[in-house]
Amino acid sequence: MKAYYLIYLFLGLIFFGCAQNKEVDIQEKNIENNQIQYENKKSSTYNKSKPFYPMDETMDDIQNQINDLKTRVIEYESRINNVALDPNLLRMIKLPLINHEIELINGTIVQGSILQEDIDRIILKTQIGQIRIEKADIVSVKEIAPNSPILSFEVEPEQKIFDDKRVFSGTILNEGVRRADFARVVFYLWDENTNLISSDSAFINGSTIQYSSGIITDCALEPSESANYNVGVAISDTANVKYITKEIHFSIYE
């Protein structure tokens, strides 16, 4: 009887141990399945998210971005090198007068002003600086009108004498290669001891010009053009005028 009891107890322990092992296996499998599901969910969430920088780029996408960056760098460098100069600053730069034109044996024409000359060479001041030209390379040298207005009286002025003034009229001519701005004629009246009795001036009746500042004037004189003037100089009826002198004043703008 006792032997049967021990047998039953042994078999019960075996069945209980198998059941425990099966339950542990089931728990381990459940844990493993849960872990797999978690990893799949995590991976799915990561793939659906939108990262700050795309992760799935091809080599073509990267090459396009490199080309775009190159274009932007070239554009930036061009903006740096393209310096915008103020027109007012350019007008302040004093350009050298052009008094001579030199033709070289290769057909080149060089303009400027001769600063120095000897038997072998010429030193010429140009708008880009001083250059040395060997006389063996020169075909001809000729003088030209300077790069500025040259105003002169075309004829002697006409004079009208009144009791309280004298009126002078006539025309002036611009023989230069540049426009004269705000041109005016000045007359001086002197006595026999070269003492100044009176003087006055008047602007010419020239071309109408509007400058960049907005100022409009009609006293400009273009190259090769002439303009009339009329100047009245007030004097007393007792003044003894012996000498008359005259001048032409002008400015250069733009």
The H or E element spanning position 252 is none
| CA 249/CA 183 separation, integer angstroms | 6
pTM of the model: 0.47
List the single range of 61-70, 107-116, 120-129 with lowest mean pLDDT: 61-70
Query: How many CA atoms does the CB half-sphere of 75 hold within 13 Å?
Result: 6
Closest CA to 46 of 57, 55, 35: 55
For residues 245 and 16, the model is more confident at: 245
CATH of the domain spanning 94-143: 2.30.30.100
Task: Give per-residue pLDDT as tens, 136-171.
Answer: 999 998 877 667 888 999 999 999 999 899 999 999
Percent of the chain with pLDDT over 90: 35
Q: What token pair was written down for 53?
A: 């920088």
Name the DSSP letter for residue 80. Answer: H
Task: Give per-residue pLDDT as tens, 3-41.
Answer: 555 555 555 555 555 555 555 455 566 666 656 665 555
Q: What is the arithmetic mean of pLDDT over 221-230?
A: 95
| CA 94/CA 175 separation, integer angstroms | 21
Q: Is the pLDDT of residue 199 over 90?
A: yes
Q: What is the arithmetic mean of pLDDT over 80-88?
A: 46
- Which of the four pLDDT bands, split at 50, 70 and 90, describes residue 56? low
Mean of all residue pLDDT scores within the chain: 77
CATH of the domain spanning 151-251: 2.60.40.10
For residues 59 and 166, the model is more confident at: 166
